[in-house]
Structure formats: C-alpha cells, structure tokens
Amino acid sequence: MNTWTRMFRTGFILLRYDALLPKETAHLLPPVPRLGIGLLRSIFAKKTNLRPGERYAVAFQQLGPAFIKLGQVLSTRGDIFGKAFINDLSHLKDNLPPFPREVALASVEESLGKPVDAIFSEFGAVLGSASIAQAHEAVLLDGRKVAVKILRPDIEAVVAADIAMMTLSAKIIAFFFPSARRLEPVAFVSTVAQSLLLELDLRLEASACDEIGKTINEEPWMKAPKVVWHQVSRRVLVTEWAPGTPLSRPEALSLPGLQHKELADNLIRAFLSQALDHGAFHADLHEGNLFVTAPAQLTAIDFGIIGRLRPKERRYLAEMLWGFLRRDYKRVAEVHFEAGYVPRHHNVDSFAQALRAVGEPVLGQKATEVSMGRLLTQLFDITAQFDMHLRPELVLLQKTMVSVEGVARRIYPEHDLWEAARPVVQSWISRELSPVAQARQIAERLISRLRSEEEEGADTRQTVELAALQLVAQQGRTFGLIALAVSVISLGVLIWMAVR
C-alpha cells in the first residue's frame, strides 16, 4: 500500500467511525464546512450508538501504533475531554489484542538463541499488549521473577508506513495551510518518527532503562526495574519484576493506605527531576507504564521513548518554572526571548503582560478550579499572537508534561502542579544559579582558560588579575560588595591551587 493510499484509508477510517470531525463538534464549524462534513458523514459513517471515545478507540486501534500513541496521550486528559471519553480510550494503554503465545515463544527462541526452557523455568500468559510490543510474566532459572517484552511481528513495516503517511500529511498541511507553518508540522512529525523508530530496538530501551534507572532509583519519587542484560536482543527485553498494581487498572487508586496527594506529587517531582537534574526523562508516562504501591511508591516501565534536554534548555525550563512560581512574569518573558522562543521584534513587557493573564488565574488554585481546556486555548492564542513556533527539541518534553499533569490530576483531582514542582525547581535554581554556583562556574571557566594559556606560555599573573577584574564587573550588578570580596578571594585560591 503506497503512502497516498494509506493516507486516504486513514481519512476514510476516521470518517467511517465519525472520528474525523465528529457530530458532537459539528456546531463549532462554519455553516458551509459543517454542511459538507455532514453530507460525508451521512454517506460514509457507520450508524452506531457508540460514544465519541469508543469511536476514536476503535478507529485508532485499526490505524496502528502512531494513532494508538495519540490515544494514550488523549486518555490522560479527563479534565479536557471528560471522564467517559478517557475511560473509552483507556484500553489503548495496555489492553490491545495480543498476538499468539506460539509466536511469542518462537520470537524469544530466535532472538535469544536458546530454547525457552533453557532460559525460563516458567513462561506465563500475556500481562499487557500495547501498540509496539506485548509483555509476559516469567521466572528465570535462578528463581527471579521477570517481565519479558516482545515486539509485535512485522511491526517495523507498520511503523515505517505510519511515518511515511504522517510525513506526507505534514507536508500537505504546511503547503495548503500557511497559518499552521509556525507549528512546524514536518519537524514535529520528524521528532515523533525518531522516537517511534527507537522503540523498534529493545536493546536501546534496555540502555535507557539502565541509564535512567540508575539515577531515579537513588531518589525517593520513582523507581525503575533492573535490566537482565544477558537476556536482551533487538526484539526481546527481559527486566526484573516491577512491584505494584498498574495505574491503568481501576482498583489501583483504591489500594489500602494509598496517599493520593503524595503519589501525585511524587509523579511530578520524578519527571521534573529527570528532566532538570539529569537531562534525560521517561517520555511515555501514561498510566499503563506506571505501577503503584501504597503508600506512595511509583515504578515506571517501558523506557522505549526517552526525551533529552541540553544544559541550556534545562536552564530555560527551570527559570521559566521558577519565574511562574514567584509570579515574576517579566523574568519568564525575558527567558523566552533569551531562548529564542519569541521573535525579537516583539515587546518583552507585552509578552510579560500576556503571561500574567495566563498565570494569575492558575497559580495557587486547585486543579478542580482550573479549566485546562480554556487555559490551553488561551496559550494557543498567545503563541499565535507572538509568532511562537513549535520547537522540535521540546516536543517530547511538552507532550510528557501534558500526560504527567493529566495523570496527576486523575490520582488526586485537587492536585496543585506548581506546589508539587516547587521543591525540585527551587533545588535546581539554588544549585545552578546561586551566587556561589555562578562564582564556581566562572572559576572553572577561568581555570580552564588559564591552563590553556599556561601551555601557550601566557603571563599567568596578568591573566589572574584580569580574571578578578572581570569577575567584579560581571557580578557587581547582582551581588553586594561583601559577596564580591569573598568570590574574588575564593577565585584566587582556586586559581593558585590549579596552577601551582
């Protein structure tokens, strides 16, 4: 099936299940498009009594991995789409039709190069079946309980076809709808495609699980299972058993002794700590990938999609969050301009004014008192007004923030995202942007410069004096004279120790 045919098939399936422009939203369209869509619906759409969420779930399941991923994100936002809608989409998280057990066993034997009974003493039924892979419960010969993840047969061809169709659709949108170009549809699809392709090699997921697991297992907010490295291949991944109840199950939030507020706080803090402190975060944190244990322990699985932030992006994120927490909208606006998120021809104060209109109705409010639908509409209006383009490097971060905040709301409906974020953001700011931290960073840069100059025969004393004067000039606008004196003296000691 070529890409054009697949695209038309996609449109037809969405229309068939009234999931393209459903009748429930028809009143939002202008008269002529409403009439045209209504005519197409009357000709092609099935006559069913299914709710909107049920129709989308059936259509997305037929359309494959890319649309199932979209359904998983939508299913975290009950505050926007309604409880019935997200409940109807919930089975897309880990309850899709599984492929046969015989196929799974054959894939394990072929991928790991051994008979199943030479690796496992038990190989159980399907635990969960998702768009890319399914998982089985098993027990290793040494007695350890494990989860075995196996890619779906021929999934590589399906994903490649999805990517080709999305890329073509993005190019068409960019060509025919100039107003959508600031959303960078082609770059957006490219980012999504890259993350999908990485999911097709479970060795890379094992590496991500090991990398992120080593950092988050040392923190109190979230845990990750350990990888059984000698049982990993491109199509099969074995990890130690994740304790707890999947958050996607209805009984998860009724566990005895569960502390809902603390659990929601832990989720937000775990995500922000991964993104800010380590620059690598789990980018697929929907309920199907989270296990919960009372009182407030979270365990994450499925590290197939990982987001990464460079140091400067982490600083921008931290400063923007900190600015919102302090209601310093001018600083938040300045960071947007420094990062290049808002074109320079706009006015910083006007942008700060717009941000105040967004922040004040939200900060300090319980989640139940905030309309996320209205907030997102306002944010979209502001991004259009100030010519803000989608940033491909932030797509996974933004997508994960939407999912995580939605999951936290489901865990604890009155959750306050900003207060949950405060300890992590404040700690990062104190560590990375405090006067001491800035002096240390300057010292490190100067020491590095001095060593280079020493190798080239530069005059060290002259450089030290110049460095001290530069430090005074740079920090004089920010710190008091006493702090400056301490910084300069400390810098001199550090340099003397480095070059002696």
Q: What pLDDT sits at residue 484?
A: 38
Please give the residue that has the higher pLDDT: either 222 or 56: 222
d(CA 33, CA 94): 37
Query: Same domain, yes or no, for 339 and 446?
Result: no
From CA 145, how far away is CA 127, in angstroms rounded? 13
Q: Are residues 447 and 421 in the same domain?
A: no
- To which residue do tokens 């000039």 refer? 473
Residue 289 CA to residue 72 CA, distance in Å, equals 11
Domain endpoint, select from 92, 111, 141: 92
Catalytic residues: 284
Let me know: does 99 contact 310? Beta carbons within 8 Å.
no
For residue 496, pLDDT beyond 50: no
Residue 128 lies in a domain: no
Does 126 map to a domain? Answer: no
Q: Per mean pLDDT, which range of 161-165, 365-369, 401-405, 458-462 is the poorest?
A: 458-462
387 and 343 Cβ atoms separated by less than 8 Å = yes
Is 217 part of any domain? Answer: no
pLDDT digit string (tens) for 108-145? 999 999 999 999 999 998 988 888 899 999 999 999 99
For residue 477, tell me if it sits in a domain: yes
What's the pLDDT tens digit per position in 464-495?
554 544 544 444 444 443 343 333 334 443 33
User: For residue 467, is it within any domain?
Assistant: yes
Whether 303 and 176 share a structural domain: no
Q: Supply the pLDDT for residue 429.
A: 86
Q: Strands 290-293, 297-300: parallel, antiparallel or unpaired by DSSP?
A: antiparallel
pTM: 0.76
pLDDT 10s digits, 12-37: 888 888 887 777 777 767 787 778 87
Q: Say if 22 falls within a structural domain.
A: yes
Tell me: do 297 and 424 sit in the same domain: yes
Q: Are 381 and 440 in the same domain?
A: no
Amino acid at 228: V
- Domain ends where: 432, 451, 482? 432
* Together in a domain, 88 and 21: yes
Residue 73, Ramachandran bin (φ over 0: left; ψ between -120 and 50: alpha; else beta): alpha
Task: Tell me whether the omega of the peptide bond preceding residue 295 falls within 30 degrees of 0, making it cis.
Answer: yes
283 plus 420 within the same structural domain: yes
Whether 285 and 184 share a structural domain: no
Domain end point (choices 412, 432, 452)? 432
Q: Furthest-apart CA pair in the chain: how many Å?
A: 85
Q: Domain tally for the chain?
A: 4
305 and 339 housed in the same domain? yes
Q: Are strands 236-240 and 280-282 parallel, antiparallel or unpaired?
A: unpaired
In a domain, 276, yes or no: yes
Is residue 417 domain-shared with residue 349, that is, in the same domain?
yes
Domain residue limits at 457 = 435-499
Do 358 and 410 have their domain in common? Answer: yes
Separation of alpha carbons 454 and 449, rounded Å: 9
Q: Are residues 267 and 394 in the same domain?
A: yes
Average predicted confidence (pLDDT) for the chain = 82
Q: What phi and psi, each to the nearest 5 degrees, are found at residue 282?
A: -65, 120
Distance CA 65, CA 158 (A): 8
Establish if 462 belongs to a structural domain. yes
